[in-house]
A and B are shown apart, each in its own frame.
Chain A
Amino acid sequence: MTYLFINIGNFHPVLVHMPIGILMFAFVLEIYQRVKPAENLGNSIKLALGFGVLSALAAIGTGLLLEESGAYDEELLFRHKWMAISLTLVSIVIFFAKEAKKPLLAKLYFPLFIAVNIMLVLAGHWGGSMTHGEDFLTKASSSDKKSIENVDEAIVYRDIVRPILDAKCVSCHNAKKAEGNLLMTSQMALLAGGDTGNPLDSVLDLGKPLMAHRVALPLEDEEHMPPKGKVQLTPNEIALLNWWMENKNCFECKTTDLDRNKKIQAYLNDLEADTSTRSLLAKSLEPPSAKWLAEVAATGTSIYPLKEGSPLYIVYLANKTALSEAFFDVLGTYSENIVELNLGNSNFNDTLVSSLGAFENLTKLQLQNTAITDKGFQAVAKLDNLESLNLYGTSITDAALEDIKALSKLTDLYLWRTEITDEAMRAYAVLNPSTTIHSIDMDMFSATELLPPTIVAANYFIKDTVTVEISYPFDDTAIYYTLDGSEPDTTSVRYSTPIIVSNTANLKAVTAKEGWGISETALAYFKKSTIDYNGIVLNKRPAEKFTGAGGGMLGDLQRGSTNFVDGKWLGYEGSHFNATFELDKVQEISSVSVGALSAPGSWIFFPTGFIISVSQDGKRFTRLHKESLRPQKPDSSISLKFFDIEFVKTTAKYVRVEVKSILKNPTWHQDPGGNSWLFVDEIVIN
């Protein structure tokens, strides 16, 4: 039952506003009636008074229920309750006194009405004080919170913990509204504890102090503190409170007496007052007028505040090529509000620089890639609030660096590609250790290599001759090459016009350029192929998916690529390859070259052996050569290879080529023993 009462009681803060509003408005109507008697408002006033009384009764009812539940300051509660009850009674009286015939009542009517209004204000104020705290109206806003001057001197409880408790806990845990019978107003009160114990005592089964536990509970948890809806502790505040409690909640220790890790030190430093130039300026300056902002925007200048509500502004004029004094004249009205100005890559120059004088509060100025020189720079050096100055790509010299020395607040300086000498920069850096001259060591990129050149040829099999072009995307790079397989360098043949290749050749090429590392080698293998085939018969059918264009494809002088599904490969699953080539005439042969693919990731492996047989009639074959290869090393990269099989010179009309597959995946494969594939394309007989 109590539960139900409390719930209805909770409506009190909602309902109390009704009698306040209605009764006060009734009073406004009454005054109006007295000023303009012609308006007949009598009934309206009476109606308003009636409703006001009814709502006041409802408010009292709910208020009495709420009283049961809450831990409120008794004195305030007493005053609030009885003031509310009396004002309700008086309201009932004036309701009946309105337009009453009895002279006494009529006489009392208006004074009582005034009294009701005063009582409303008082009752309302006391009610507010109970929920929000007595100093609610007069309290300074939270943004003006005091900061610590020197955090190393601060006493942890007094200067750090106490302000957090005061701001976030005490509004409910005070003598007037002691929620959970816990006061957090003083050291004594904290140690005394409340209904659930001492907040600083470690609770055995939790292993941490009760307060740390309650604060760490999820927001939705009923026990979470501060309760949902109240202003929450920030992560920094929680960390600081825990830190204090972990250190046995020492009430007298200084920050330096306790162990501080990096994080805590950072949080502590945050408590110190922000004394940066921008922060001080923000406090001392008024925001500029909206009219001025509109004027600035109308010139095409981009301007925006540092953040919401800040009087400080950033102006962006970068990449503008038609800047004139007019731009700066408009900005000049509130020049002291501008703390950052970007003029990078604009037409800003020594003439316009005189306009900068008024912008004495600039902390960041960007003049990169502008025409400013030493002459104009003197005006810049007078902006002594500058913290960041960008002069990269200007033609200022050592003389300007002398002027820069006057900028005592400077922390970041950009001088890349200026005329300033390294010695001058070093000397400056020694004298001004607080300024960083941002530069990089270009040597770190000194070993950069060129890319290998691109070799382009219409064909890699040579019937007669093939024209080969070698190219590179850079200007003025030299290309060197060899055809005999030796590694090319800058002493090799320099490429100028396309090369004509007429015999089997191993072309290797590199690119070289002053100041760059020589490239890796580009390779191309050209194979002489003089013998034509009358026909190619596949003695074993390839797998259905990888039949390509049939046997003829083996002699079309087009190689399959590393992409095994390009349609130029004959693929065999778990079986060997066997094909017969009919040469265009009986002739001498001494080698067979077989192109194959390895892509273990796709279950494709190189051959393990070859058998070459020849025949004059295509029926009776004699075995000429048999060769077995060593098993392939574990390597799952995709590669192409030509296997050259050399044998004693023989005359033949027909040549049968058998290529042996590994058949089953090797043990090192991810699917050992599974069916493996053999991919063959282009077989050249010479």
Chain B
Amino acid sequence: MSEKKILEDRSLFLNRRSFLGKAALGAGSVALASLLGNQFFSKDKNGILTKDNDFGGNNGVMNALHHASKAKRVIYLFQSGGPSQLELFDYKPTLIKRRGEELPDSIRQGQRLTGMTADQSSFPLAGSVFDFKQYGQNGTYISDLLPYTAKMVDDLCIVKSMYTEAINHDPAVTFFQTGSQQPGRPSMGSWLSYGLGSENKNLPAFSVLLSRGSGRPSGQPLYTRLWGNGFLHSLHQGVQFRAAKDPVLYLNDPKGVTKEGKRAILDKLAEMNDKQFQDFGNPEIQSRIAQYEMAYKMQTSVPDVMKTDDEPDYIYKMYGADAKIPGTYAANCLLARRLAEQDVRFIQLYHMGWDQHDNLPGAIEKQAKDVDQASAALVADLKQRGLLEDTLVIWGGEFGRTNYSQGILTDTSYGRDHHPRCFTMWMAGGGIKPGVVYGETDEFGYNVVKDPVHVHDFQATMLHLLGIDHEKLTYKHQGRRFRLTDVEGHVLNDILT
């Protein structure tokens, strides 16, 4: 069968949608392809890539920012599992005073519960067994569990009035990351990669680092779709950096393949893919070419960034001894700073294990120790390097925890179930007012009573700081325009510098 015949056959198989799609893209895309086509052959005689082609997918769809930005990049320290605000930030003496009393119905107001406590006959109020002290210029209450965070409190904006719509882990994390509880939409980092692209053409605009907490080592799993690109170009998906011999999977060449040989393969491949693209105009072909190129560049850029041997001793002392052990939260915080120095647009950490349904005091102590010093060190380290000025650091989980005990309340132990109506996050740097506590919850730590912040408000604010109007960064998919904040979200002007 001749090649021509194959092509003809294939064109007959084109379905209606791709036919219409192709007709619409039509001449334009073919012209574009021929313009771009020349750039594949940008190697010198030795087969070394000499010129960056712009296929790295690093240029965002936005030609210019909607307004001047305060932040150029984001480090999101996601605390997966739902950290208890009541043991960490939200000091509630009433709960200690009224320990063991029933949660009043006037406070619960019919809040739906998870299957884990819905059958519980009693909801005894449980105060924190950990003490709180006041820190910083405003005398902000911080728990004894977070001694290092407490020392950085004048650089943080603590939002105590977060609330969400979901009550279970996966929908709640998905909601934070994508703006929808249903899977399928692009993650925040993907939106930024799509909108803004990245200054760094050798690393993915959206990088992901995972660590397991010691508070609940076998806790909730996370799914790769949480850093997925949804309906955006697959170029924009998050790339996970692992703490292993191959930090990024499938990046290394097989034995016996030289750098030059690889270049030659990629150029030939790009040439063929380009021909395919000129015939069909399917943008996913470009995406494929771009990913091959990015993988090629990452073969050198990733080892460079992961090689932390050159960090001096005092840096390890800042982040904590854990930072020497690959795969820990502390090590990931250090990597996050290195990625920020390389101008990666969105650096997402996930620290798992905050899901303390039982034995909360014992578990949260370990869990807090995992993250306290390294989180504070990251903010401090960014600050002294001048990076905090334009890097937004976010610390928070997907929801809070109940003010009553899940299971029996004992002198030393209790548990807390998921609680969507209020929880605490903090932000720092990148245009956020430092040394501020925003929002308030009632004396029971159950409902927000002042300045509520919805997940979409948080997302809108994050985009605002990056110079994006959350209502304007959209992508048309299946006949409707989508955005990260769906149809809601208000920028929190009160916490902006």
Q: Could you list which residues of chain A lie within 8 angstroms of chain B, going by C-beta atoms?
A: 235-236, 263, 266, 278, 300, 302, 304-310, 316, 318-319, 344-345, 366, 368, 388, 390, 392, 412, 414, 416, 438-440, 442, 444-446, 448-451, 473-474, 515-516, 519, 601, 634-637, 668-670, 672
Whether the pair A636, B386 counts as a contact (CB closer than 8 A) is no
Knowing that A307-B467, A366-B386, A444-B151 are A-B contacts, what are 10 other residue pairs whose CB atoms are under 8 Å apart, sorted by A's residue number? A235-B490, A307-B65, A307-B66, A318-B199, A319-B342, A445-B373, A474-B321, A515-B317, A634-B412, A670-B408
Whether the pair A345, B341 counts as a contact (CB closer than 8 A) is yes
* A368 contact set on B, CB distance < 8 A: 385-386
Contacts A/B (CB < 8 Å), 23 sampled: A235-B493, A263-B494, A266-B494, A307-B66, A307-B67, A307-B68, A307-B467, A308-B65, A316-B199, A318-B343, A416-B384, A416-B385, A438-B383, A444-B376, A445-B148, A445-B373, A448-B320, A451-B324, A474-B321, A519-B321, A634-B411, A637-B359, A670-B358
CA distance A510 to B63 in the complex (A): 57
Partner of B325, one of A304, A416, A473: A473
* A318 contact set on B, CB distance < 8 A: 199, 343
Smallest beta-carbon distance B465→chain A, Å: 13
Whether the pair A451, B321 counts as a contact (CB closer than 8 A) is yes
Whether the pair B317, A307 counts as a contact (CB closer than 8 A) is no
* A636 contact set on B, CB distance < 8 A: 358-359, 362, 413
* A263 contact set on B, CB distance < 8 A: 494
* A388 contact set on B, CB distance < 8 A: 386, 389
**Across the two chains, which residue of chain A brings its CB closest to B317?**
A448
* B386 contact set on A, CB distance < 8 A: 366, 368, 388, 390, 392, 412, 414, 438
Give the contacts of B352-400 with A (CB-CB under 8 A).
358-359, 362, 373, 376-377, 380, 383-386, 388-389
Q: Is B105 an interface residue (CB 8 A)?
A: no
Interface string of B46-79 (1 = CB under 8 A from A): 0000001000000000011111110000000000
Give the contacts of B389-438 with A (CB-CB under 8 A).
389, 407-408, 410-413
Partner of A449, one of B69, B313, B321, B410: B321
CA distance A502 to B184 in the complex (A): 60
Whether the pair A635, B412 counts as a contact (CB closer than 8 A) is yes
* B68 contact set on A, CB distance < 8 A: 278, 306-307, 310
Known: A392-B386, A637-B359. A450 touches B321 (CB 8 A): yes
* A440 contact set on B, CB distance < 8 A: 380, 383-384
Partner of B65, one of A306, A319, A515: A306
Whether the pair A302, B321 counts as a contact (CB closer than 8 A) is no
Whether the pair B64, A414 counts as a contact (CB closer than 8 A) is no
Whether the pair A442, B314 counts as a contact (CB closer than 8 A) is yes
* A392 contact set on B, CB distance < 8 A: 384-386
CA distance A307 to B69 in the complex (A): 8
Interface string of B118-160 (1 = CB under 8 A from A): 0000000000000000000000000000001001000000000
**Across the two chains, which residue of chain B brings its CB closest to A634?**
B410
* B411 contact set on A, CB distance < 8 A: 634
**Across the two chains, which residue of chain B brings its CB closest to A514?**
B313
Give the contacts of B337-357 with A (CB-CB under 8 A).
341-343
* A345 contact set on B, CB distance < 8 A: 341
Whether the pair B384, A308 counts as a contact (CB closer than 8 A) is no
Known: A307-B64, A636-B362. A448 touches B321 (CB 8 A): yes
* B358 contact set on A, CB distance < 8 A: 601, 636, 670
Q: Is B318 an interface residue (CB 8 A)?
A: yes
CA distance A483 to B305 in the complex (A): 42
* B488 contact set on A, CB distance < 8 A: none
**Across the two chains, which residue of chain B brings its CB closest to A366?**
B386
Whether the pair A445, B67 counts as a contact (CB closer than 8 A) is no
Number of B positions contacting A (CB below 8 A): 48
Smallest beta-carbon distance A322→chain B, Å: 12
Whether the pair B52, A300 counts as a contact (CB closer than 8 A) is yes
**Across the two chains, which residue of chain A brings its CB closest to B322?**
A451
**Across the two chains, which residue of chain A brings its CB closest to B384?**
A416
Smallest beta-carbon distance A276→chain B, Å: 10
**Across the two chains, which residue of chain A brings its CB closest to B405?**
A670
**Across the two chains, which residue of chain A brings its CB closest to B196?**
A304
* B362 contact set on A, CB distance < 8 A: 635-637
Of A308, A439, A446, A451, most buried by chain B (CB within 10 Å of CB) is A308
CA distance A669 to B325 in the complex (A): 37
Whether the pair B359, A601 counts as a contact (CB closer than 8 A) is yes
CA distance A597 to B72 in the complex (A): 51
CA distance A635 to B383 in the complex (A): 42
* A519 contact set on B, CB distance < 8 A: 321
CA distance A444 to B362 in the complex (A): 25
* B384 contact set on A, CB distance < 8 A: 392, 414, 416, 438-440
CA distance A25 to B403 in the complex (A): 75
CA distance A309 to B317 in the complex (A): 46
* A438 contact set on B, CB distance < 8 A: 383-384, 386, 388
Of B359, B383, B386, B413, most buried by chain A (CB within 10 Å of CB) is B386
Give the contacts of B475-497 with A (CB-CB under 8 A).
490, 493-494
CA distance A161 to B313 in the complex (A): 60
Of A304, A392, A450, most buried by chain B (CB within 10 Å of CB) is A304
Whether the pair A670, B385 counts as a contact (CB closer than 8 A) is no
Smallest beta-carbon distance B137→chain A, Å: 14
**Across the two chains, which residue of chain B brings its CB closest to A439?**
B384
* B52 contact set on A, CB distance < 8 A: 300
CA distance A100 to B407 in the complex (A): 100
Partner of A668, one of B65, B314, B325, B408: B408
* B67 contact set on A, CB distance < 8 A: 307-308
Whether the pair A515, B313 counts as a contact (CB closer than 8 A) is yes
CA distance A515 to B68 in the complex (A): 44
* B343 contact set on A, CB distance < 8 A: 316, 318-319
CA distance A125 to B51 in the complex (A): 58
Smallest beta-carbon distance B319→chain A, Å: 8
Smallest beta-carbon distance A501→chain B, Å: 26
* A635 contact set on B, CB distance < 8 A: 362, 412-413
Whether the pair A668, B148 counts as a contact (CB closer than 8 A) is no
**Across the two chains, which residue of chain B brings its CB closest to A279?**
B68
CA distance A241 to B66 in the complex (A): 27
Q: Top 3 nearest A-B pairs by Cβ distance? A: A670-B407, A390-B386, A636-B359
* B410 contact set on A, CB distance < 8 A: 634, 668
* B322 contact set on A, CB distance < 8 A: 451
CA distance A637 to B377 in the complex (A): 30
Whether the pair B359, A412 counts as a contact (CB closer than 8 A) is no
Of A305, A366, A440, A450, most buried by chain B (CB within 10 Å of CB) is A440
Smallest beta-carbon distance A342→chain B, Å: 9
**Across the two chains, which residue of chain B brings its CB closest to A308?**
B64
Smallest beta-carbon distance B379→chain A, Å: 9
* B407 contact set on A, CB distance < 8 A: 670
CA distance A316 to B52 in the complex (A): 16
CA distance A474 to B312 in the complex (A): 12
Smallest beta-carbon distance A321→chain B, Å: 13
CA distance A305 to B67 in the complex (A): 10
CA distance A266 to B66 in the complex (A): 22
Smallest beta-carbon distance B62→chain A, Å: 9
* A412 contact set on B, CB distance < 8 A: 386, 389
* A235 contact set on B, CB distance < 8 A: 490, 493
**Across the two chains, which residue of chain A brings its CB closest to B316?**
A474
CA distance A318 to B376 in the complex (A): 26
Smallest beta-carbon distance A670→chain B, Å: 4
**Across the two chains, which residue of chain A brings its CB closest to B313?**
A515
Smallest beta-carbon distance A47→chain B, Å: 35
* A473 contact set on B, CB distance < 8 A: 324-325
* B317 contact set on A, CB distance < 8 A: 445-446, 448, 515-516
CA distance A345 to B387 in the complex (A): 13
Whether the pair B199, A302 counts as a contact (CB closer than 8 A) is yes
**Across the two chains, which residue of chain A brings its CB closest to B62?**
A308
**Across the two chains, which residue of chain A brings its CB closest to B325?**
A473
* B200 contact set on A, CB distance < 8 A: 319
Smallest beta-carbon distance A519→chain B, Å: 8
Smallest beta-carbon distance A655→chain B, Å: 36
**Across the two chains, which residue of chain A brings its CB closest to B200?**
A319
